[in-house]
Amino acid sequence: MNSSTTTSGLTFDVRLSAQRKTPQERAQLLDNPGFGTVFTDHMVAIDYTEGEGWYDARLEPYGPLTLDPATAALHYAQEIFEGLKAYRHPTGEAACFRPDANAARLNRSARRMAMPELPEELFLGAIETLLQHDSEWIPTQPNSSLYLRPFMFATDVGLGVNHPSRSYRFVLIASPSGPYFSGGIKPVTVWLSEDYTRAAPGGTGQAKFAGNYAASFVAQSQAVEQGCDQVVWLDAKEHRWVEEMGGMNLFFVFGSGDDARLLTPPLTGTLLPGITRDSLLSLGPELGFPTEESPISTEEWRRAARSGELTEVFACGTAAVITPVGHVKSKDGEFTIGDGGAGPVTMGLREELVALQYGTRPDTHGWVRIFD
Ligand SMILES: *Cc1c(COP(=O)(O)O)cnc(C)c1O
């Protein structure tokens, strides 16, 4: 056993895999990795017990977790996660985009689910440790990156449900990934979900909580049955106010050219506060687009699309970055945004964001963190 000290002085035990892929095997896997199906040689894990805090931070071979069948997370779904990417910059360095924001959001999710917070140094130390050993897994093809998936789950054994678990595990795994939606930047068709809701006031919608996804699959299947790619979530009370698209936030572009302006629904407590969304709220005005957080109803969406005031709509999130929305379907019929293609404001914002993430534009915001 070895140990690895991160730049913050934290020590992670290093238990190297005896079955690391050879450079040839790795190259083959990196050739066309898809999304979220190939994993690196190692993972990081850290345990927590009430009273003791976090302990046993380690890098270990990637592999199955052995869990007692009565493990709390399997019964009562105390599980939260994050998603971010490591990019290979032209300098050769490995970098992440706003990982401190992911650390902060993990802890907001933890508080909502009565789980312990993970100190930011441990979150960043876990990424640093994994990248120290597995950074050769960062793909270098355009629009490819190493997707990082930190998650935390309840490990108490027992079926009692009167209190939250007293022990937890944090795990970080990494998956070399190509573009999230295969086939390039193709506009998606969305289904306005009036039968199901993702989140209600007082619920868990603003936490990156596994159960939110479990509850969403049936609506996503309904969208697919309607010939759509993605579901759009409306508010739980009136089924009228637009919230999100699948696992991404939405932006609406009104006007065009120098008069274009951006609108995104406000964080009412039922939306997931996306880091991509937050970044675009800064980048929009910098590129000359006034940007506001305001509610938008489905009637307004339809009306403004028909009148031509609404010129573009796109969804944003770490995995797929920015995806144009071309067509909208609902029980009341369907309509098209602009000419149904990817618009210039959408593509301009995408290019700017991607350039910052991949290190081809100077980082004037302090958003980029270099790991090696
Ligand atoms: C993760 C997520 C997003 C996007 O967040 P980013 O930080 O931009 O990746 C949006 N909506 C939901 C429901 C999510 O889980």
Q: What is the DSSP string of 126-165?
A: HHHHHHHHHGGGS--STT-EEEEEEEEEE--BS---SS--
Question: Does 99 sit in the ligand 1 pocket, CB within 6 Å?
Answer: no
Report pLDDT digits (tens) over 148-206: 999 999 999 999 988 999 999 999 999 999 877 665 689 999 999 999 999 999 999 99
Question: Does 249 sit in the ligand 1 pocket, CB within 6 Å?
Answer: yes
CA 95 to CA 138: how far, in whole Å?
Answer: 10
- pLDDT, position 182: 61
Question: Does 134 sit in the ligand 1 pocket, CB within 6 Å?
Answer: no
Cα of 337 from ligand 1 centre, angstroms:
23
Cα of 351 from ligand 1 centre, angstroms:
19
- pLDDT, position 181: 66
Exposed (0-12), middle (13-18) or buried (19+): which is 233, by Cβ within 10 Å?
buried
- pLDDT, position 106: 98
All domains in the chain, ordered by first residue? 2-177 (3.30.470.10), 188-357 (3.20.10.10)
Contact 87, 359 (CB under 8 A): yes
- pLDDT, position 180: 72
Contact 187, 342 (CB under 8 A): yes
- pLDDT, position 1: 59
In the chain, which residues have pLDDT < 50? none
- pLDDT, position 244: 98
CA 313 to CA 327: how far, in whole Å?
Answer: 9
Beta-carbon count within 10 A of 143 CB: 14
Name which residue sits closest to atom 13 of ligand 1, judged by CA.
247
Specify the pairing of strand 188-193 against strand 167-177.
Answer: unpaired
Report pLDDT digits (tens) over 356-371: 999 999 999 999 999 9
Question: Does 247 sit in the ligand 1 pocket, CB within 6 Å?
Answer: yes
- Which numbered atom of ligand 1 lies nearest the CA of 84? 9
CA 211 to CA 246: how far, in whole Å?
Answer: 14
Name which residue sits closest to atom 10 of ligand 1, judged by CA.
248
- Which numbered atom of ligand 1 lies nearest the CA of 105? 7
Contact 130, 151 (CB under 8 A): no
- pLDDT, position 178: 87
- Which numbered atom of ligand 1 lies nearest the CA of 318? 9
DSSP strands (E only) in 246-290: 248-254, 261-264
Question: Does 272 sit in the ligand 1 pocket, CB within 6 Å?
Answer: yes
- Which numbered atom of ligand 1 lies nearest the CA of 205? 13
Question: Does 198 sit in the ligand 1 pocket, CB within 6 Å?
Answer: no
Name which residue sits closest to atom 6 of ligand 1, judged by CA.
274
